[in-house]
Amino acid sequence: MSRKPAKPAAKSAPVKSSSKPVEVVGHAVERALDPLTSALKRAGLKRADKAASAFDDHAPAAPAAPPTGKVDKAAMPVSPLAVSFPRMKPIRGVTMATGRAGFYKHERDDLLVMNFPEGASCAGVFTRHGVGSAPVDWCKRHLEVTKGEGVRALVVNAGCANSFTGRPGADAVRRVASAVGKRFDCRQRDVMVASTGVIGVLLDDAKITARLPDLEHHLTEDGWGGAARAIMTTDTFPKGAYAEADIDGTKVRIGGICKGSGMIAPDMATMLAFVVTDAAITPGALQNLCNLYTRNTFNAVTVDGDRSTNDTLLLFATGQSGAAKISRAGDRRLADFRDKLERVLMNLAHQLVRDGEGATKFIKITVTGAESAASARKIARSVADSPLVKTAFAGEDANWGRIVMAVGKADEPVDRDSMSVKFGPHWAAQDGLIAKSYDEAKMSAYMKKQELEVSIDVGVGRASSTVWTCDLTKRYVEINGDYRS
């Protein structure tokens, strides 16, 4: 392990994402980038659909998942929508190690440490939750200070969210960052921290710092599977995604992991996600990419409509691939990289929905004919988050009346007499009435599928939006009723 003194942080554009709504930042970023980015944005939905099919490459998930609490003691089954963990090559420049800090009573790894080389860049997008958490506050503040330059380490624990813990929680984070900084010869502000678990419980930082010496001697460049398992809470399978891209003739790698199963809603979806590339991209450009592609990925999925206090997406660039250094997100040399990065983020976001607590259906909801993109998103989320809609899906009932109800309660412009609803290829309603071709038998057969699509045209404009969600089952109530007990 390197023992060279850390270099002072370089100056660059301030990180913007932590202080403004993601959607507002997204619009600002699009205006700031060159015309190529606008063209890419117009093709966004096509890329999203293409990315959704990436799951076809996954094998069925493993038959068991690590225990994670009372519900797991009852042999919590792996989600029927699960996908297997992908084959991920090492990302040059990052090493990682996992261990048991003891935040759970049973045997399982619950601690992850990643080490990055000098000169690495970092960008982040975080929850807009009004309460927030000590780890989120730490990352937002220090990314602002360092401008994303010189991040050297990441520490993640599962089992304790360290949220709503006041000054003691903030002090615990500082002590963790300080201890890790001493191990990796860097400043404490160069250490990113993330936590997940029960809200309102103070982090016992001594459990983390006591494990650092052992983790330091077990750092490996090929530990993605273990890393994904270590950050799980009520997840039933580890989540990862990997892609390779070309930057001006040089092959670069992109890999990431995430966790999340319940308390999943946009801004951001409940989750932690950590994505690393060995491309050389400046912090400002990395932040723009992070802002831009979060919008149609992590901010376009929902399980239960509840936003987390700890949501964090961190994107790291080690610069170890040998590719030319890129300083603009709109640089034409990044065309393939942008596409692959969005696919990785979309893949991870979809896996959150596939592991929705108690989920049995993976559902794509697309709204077209809306007055604006923002209006389309709001309508799609209203449908995706409706308990009545979600329970109908759980019962395999194509209850299009509930869809229409959820559209109307979004309080967005719609034309009732022009509205249409379609389940997969089957029309349920057209022009404000039940469709003449409606066939109950065909509809019922379609609803038995594990992956479903609902298309809604509200008849007032040309804007569209897509949201991915899951059904709401009795198992969701059981899991959350037993979460702390």
Alpha helices in 109-230 (DSSP H): 134-146, 166-183, 205-209, 212-216, 224-230
> How would you class 31 by CB atoms within 10 Å of its CB: exposed for 0-12, middle for 13-18, buried for 19 or more?
exposed
Whether 78 contacts 64, CB under 8 Å:
yes
Distance between CA 428 and CA 447 in Å, rounded?
Answer: 12
- State how far Cα 84 lies from the chain centre: 17
Active-site choice (270, 302, 312, 318): 270
C-alpha–C-alpha distance, residues 50 and 53, integer Å: 6
CA distances to 40, 109, 148, 272, 319 from 283, in Å: 21, 31, 5, 20, 11
Specify whether the CB–CB gap between 301 and 353 falls below 8 A: yes
Beta strands across the sheet bearing 451-457: 433-434, 426-430, 420-423, 451-457, 362-370, 463-470
Region of residue 181 (phi > 0: left; psi between -120 and 50: alpha; otherwise: beta)? alpha
Q: Does the annotation mark 360 as catalytic?
A: no
Question: How far is the first Cα of the chain from the last one, in angstroms, to the nearest whole number?
Answer: 42
Q: Name 285's Cβ contacts closer than 8 Å, sequence gap at least 6.
A: 326, 327, 328, 329, 331, 334
Query: Alpha helices of 8-133 — where are they, by DSSP H?
Result: 22-32, 35-42, 44-52, 70-73
CA 281 to chain centre: 21
According to DSSP, the residues that pair with 273 across neighbouring strands are 258, 313
For residue 106 the two structure tokens come to 């049973």
Give the Cα separation of 72 and 270 in Å (integer): 19
Rounded-to-integer distance, Cα 289 and Cα 352, Å: 21
Taking the C-alpha atoms of residue 481 and residue 485, their distance in angstroms, rounded to an integer, is 8
Cα-based angle 322, 294, 97 (whole degrees, multiple of 5): 55
Residues belonging to the active site: 270
